[in-house]
Chains A and B, each alone.
Chain A
Amino acid sequence: MGTKVKRGILYAALILLAVCCLLPFILMMINATRSGSEIVSSFSLLPGKALSDNWATISSYFDLFRGMRNSLLVAIPATLFTAYFSAMTAYAMAVYKFKGSKILFGVIVVFMMIPGQLSLIGFYDLITELNMVDSYLPLILPAIAVPGTVFFLKQYCESVLSPVLLEAARIDGAGEIRIFHKIVLPLLSPGIATMSIGAFIGNWNSYLIPLILLNSPEKFTLPVMIASLNSSTDITRNQGAIYLAVAISVIPILIAFAFCSKYIIGSITAGGVKE
C-alpha cells in the first residue's frame, strides 16, 4: 500500500520534470502567436491572433527558410561524408593488417579527448590561408575525418563482420573495393545510420565555427541567423517575432524527434557505452 502511494509520488515528480522540459517550448509556441504588446502586458496560455503580423516582422528582416536551406546545404553533405568515409576508414582498420594501423588508432583516441577550442584559432588561420572564408567547404570537408565515428564503427565492424563471409566473397572473385560497397556497407548500415543521426544534429545545430567563418548574411546557417536577432531593434521590440523565429528554427527538429526519438536516443549511447 505504501509502495503504491510512493510510486504515485514518484510519477508525479517525473511528470513535473517532463513539464519543465516541455514548458519553455509550449510558452514559445503560444507566444509566437501573440503580439508584442500582449506578451508584454500579461501572461496567457491561450494563443493570440498575431501570428501573421509576427511573421511579417520576421520576414522583413531575414529569410528564415533560406537559413534552413543553407543549414541543409551544410548538414547533408557533411553527414554523408562522415557516414561514408568513417565506415571506409573503420572497415580498413578492423579488417586489414597494415603498418601504422596502431598509430592511427592511437591518434584517433587521443583526438577524441582533445577539446575543439584547441584547434579553433589554427583552423581559422588555415581557412584564411586557403581562401575559404565565407564558403561552405570548410564546414563540410572536415566531416570526412570524425575520430569518434570511426572509433565507434571500428568496434561495430569487429562485432558485425565475419571473416568467413569476406573470404567467401574474395573466392568468388570480388575485388576489395567492390566487397566494401556491396557487402560491407549494407551490413554496417544500422551502425552508420545511428552515427549519421548524431552527425546531422551536430552539424545542423553548430554555431561557433559557422559564426567565425561566414560573413555574408545570405550564407548564414540557421543558428547564425537566429543569433543575428540580437542586432535587429525591430525584432527585439516585438517579443512575439522573436518567439516565432525561434519556434520556426526549433519545429523541424521537434518533428524529426517525434518520429525517430528511438534512433536518436540510440545514437547517444552508441558513442559512450562500450561493452
Chain B
Amino acid sequence: MGKELSATRKKRDINKVAYLFIAPFVLTFVVFSIYPVVRTLYLSFTDYKGFGEAQIVGLSNYIRVFKDKFFWRALGNTVRMWSVNIVLQLGLAFLLTIIFSDIKYKMRGLSIFRALFYLPNLIAATSVAFLFKTLLDWKYGTINQMLVGSGLLKAPINWLGSTLTAPYIVAVIGAWMWFGNSFIMLMAGVQGIPKDYFEAAAIDGAGRWKVFFQITLPLLRPIMLYVAITSLIGGLQMFDIPFLMCGGTIGNPSGSTQTVVMYLYKFGFEINQVGFASAIAYALFMIILVISMIQFKAFNKKEA
C-alpha cells in the first residue's frame, strides 16, 4: 500500500517535468506568434502610423478595405494568378501521378524524375525571380532569342510588359515551382495505398481506369484536400515572385500583377498606414477561411 502510494506520487512528479519541456516553446510561441496575430487584430481597429499614439477608429479600416477598388483589384489579380497556377500545378501533378501509378505501364525512374521535378521548388524565390526576369527580357532575353531564332515567333514578345502576359507568366512560374511538390505528395499517397487492393482488383479483372477511379482516387482524397488547402493558403499569400519581377509593390504593368500581400506591404511598410494594412491582413484571412471551408465541404460531399 505504502509502496503504491509512493509510486503514484512519483508518477505525478514525473508528469510535472512536462511543463519544463514545453516552457521554451510556449514562451516563444506566445511572444512571437500569438501576440503578433492579436496585435495585428488590435491595430486593424486603429489609425496607427507606425509611430506615436494609436487612436481607436472602430471598423473604419475594414469599411475602407471593403470600399477600396484597388484592394478588390489586388484580390482579383491574386485569385486570377492563383487559379491559373493551381490548375496547371495540380493538373500536371495529377497527370504525373496517373502515369507513375499506372498498373499497365509500370513506369520506371520515379525517384530521378521526382527529384528533377522538385528541383525548382528548392531554389529561393528571389533567385527564381531574377533568373526569369532576365531570361524573359523583352529585347535581349534568352527566351525571346530562342523563340525568334527557331522561327516560333516573328517578333519578340514583351512578356513582363503586357497585361495580357505578365500575370500569366507569374502564374506559370508558380506552377513550375510547385508542381513537383504536389506530385510528390500525391505519389506518396498512392504509395501508401496497400498493394493488396490493386492485386485484388487485378484478379477481379478491373481495367486500369476503373482501378484509378474506384481505388486510387477515393483513397487519395485526404491528401488532395491537404494539397488543395496548403496551396490555397500559400497561393493567396503570393508575394516574392511578382514583387521582384514586376517592379515592387506597383505590380507592373498597370497593377495587373499586384497581389493582396503586395498591397498590404505597400501600406504596412512603404507608406506606413499600419492600421489599414492590418485590416487588409484580416480581410485576406477571412477570405482564405471561407474558401478553405468551401474546399472542405466539397471534398466531404464526394465522400457521402
A24 to B127 alpha-carbon distance, docked (Å): 11
B231 CB, min distance to chain A CBs, angstroms: 11
B190 CB, min distance to chain A CBs, angstroms: 11
**Residues from chain B with Cβ under 8 Å of A264 in the complex:** 118, 122
Across the interface, do B24 and A144 meet the contact criterion of CB distance under 8 Å? yes
**Residues from chain A with Cβ under 8 Å of B32 in the complex:** 123, 126, 138, 141-142, 145
**Residues from chain A with Cβ under 8 Å of B264 in the complex:** 117, 120-121
> Is A69 interfacial (CB 8 A cutoff)?
no
Across the interface, do B135 and A126 meet the contact criterion of CB distance under 8 Å? no
Known contacts A91-B21, A126-B36; A223/B127 CB under 8 A: yes
**Residues from chain A with Cβ under 8 Å of B70 in the complex:** none
Choose the segment among B79-87, B157-165, B210-218, B284-292 that binds chain A (4+ C-beta atoms closer than 8 Å).
B284-292
**Residues from chain B with Cβ under 8 Å of A119 in the complex:** 33, 36-37, 40
A109 to B56 alpha-carbon distance, docked (Å): 32
A227 to B109 alpha-carbon distance, docked (Å): 36
B278 (CB) vs chain A CBs: closest residue: A121
A101 (CB) vs chain B CBs: closest residue: B18
> Is B176 interfacial (CB 8 A cutoff)?
yes
A181 CB, min distance to chain B CBs, angstroms: 11
B205 CB, min distance to chain A CBs, angstroms: 18
Count of residues in B whose CB is under 8 Å from the partner chain: 95
A184 to B129 alpha-carbon distance, docked (Å): 42
Across the interface, do B134 and A126 meet the contact criterion of CB distance under 8 Å? no
B13 (CB) vs chain A CBs: closest residue: A176
Across the interface, do B261 and A117 meet the contact criterion of CB distance under 8 Å? yes
**Residues from chain A with Cβ under 8 Å of B271 in the complex:** none
Across the interface, do B130 and A117 meet the contact criterion of CB distance under 8 Å? no
Across the interface, do A122 and B124 meet the contact criterion of CB distance under 8 Å? no
> What 0/1 readout, one digit per residue, does chain A (110-121) give for beta carbons within 8 Å of chain B?
010111111111
Across the interface, do A176 and B285 meet the contact criterion of CB distance under 8 Å? no
A275 to B125 alpha-carbon distance, docked (Å): 31
Known contacts A144-B25, A250-B123; A122/B15 CB under 8 A: no
Q: Give the secondary structure class of A's interface.
A: helix
Out of B15, B99, B176, B223, name the residue touching A21 (CB < 8 Å).
B176
A98 to B37 alpha-carbon distance, docked (Å): 26
A270 (CB) vs chain B CBs: closest residue: B188
A254 to B129 alpha-carbon distance, docked (Å): 17
Known contacts A88-B21, A142-B28, A170-B14; A10/B145 CB under 8 A: no
Known contacts A126-B39, A177-B17; A243/B185 CB under 8 A: no
Known contacts A3-B105, A43-B149, A122-B35; A115/B126 CB under 8 A: no
B25 (CB) vs chain A CBs: closest residue: A89
Known contacts A21-B180, A119-B37; A273/B268 CB under 8 A: no
Across the interface, do A223 and B126 meet the contact criterion of CB distance under 8 Å? yes
> Is A49 interfacial (CB 8 A cutoff)?
no
Across the interface, do A253 and B25 meet the contact criterion of CB distance under 8 Å? no
Across the interface, do B185 and A250 meet the contact criterion of CB distance under 8 Å? no
Q: Which residues of A contact B (CB under 8 A)?
A: 3, 6-7, 10-11, 14, 17-18, 20-22, 24-25, 27-28, 31, 39-40, 42-43, 85-86, 88-89, 91-93, 95-98, 101, 104, 107, 111, 113-126, 138, 141-142, 144-145, 147, 150, 170, 176-177, 180, 201, 204-205, 207-208, 212, 222-224, 226-227, 229-230, 239, 242-243, 245-246, 249-250, 253-254, 257, 261-262, 264-265, 268-269, 272-273, 275
Pick 29 A–B contacts, CB within 8 A, sort by A.
Answer: A3-B104, A7-B107, A14-B96, A14-B99, A22-B116, A25-B119, A88-B21, A92-B21, A92-B22, A121-B36, A122-B36, A122-B42, A142-B33, A145-B28, A150-B25, A170-B14, A207-B126, A212-B269, A222-B124, A223-B124, A226-B124, A227-B130, A229-B130, A239-B134, A250-B123, A261-B115, A269-B185, A269-B188, A272-B227
Q: Which residues of B contact A (CB under 8 A)?
A: 14-22, 24-26, 28-29, 31-43, 50, 92, 96, 99, 104-105, 107, 109, 111, 113-120, 122-127, 129-132, 134-135, 137, 139-140, 142, 145-146, 149, 176, 180-181, 184-185, 188-189, 192, 223, 226-227, 229-230, 233, 236-237, 239-240, 244, 261, 264, 268-269, 274, 277-278, 281-282, 284-285, 288, 292
Known: A120-B264, A122-B42, A144-B24; 5 extra A-B contacts, CB below 8 A, are: A89-B21, A122-B35, A145-B24, A145-B28, A272-B226
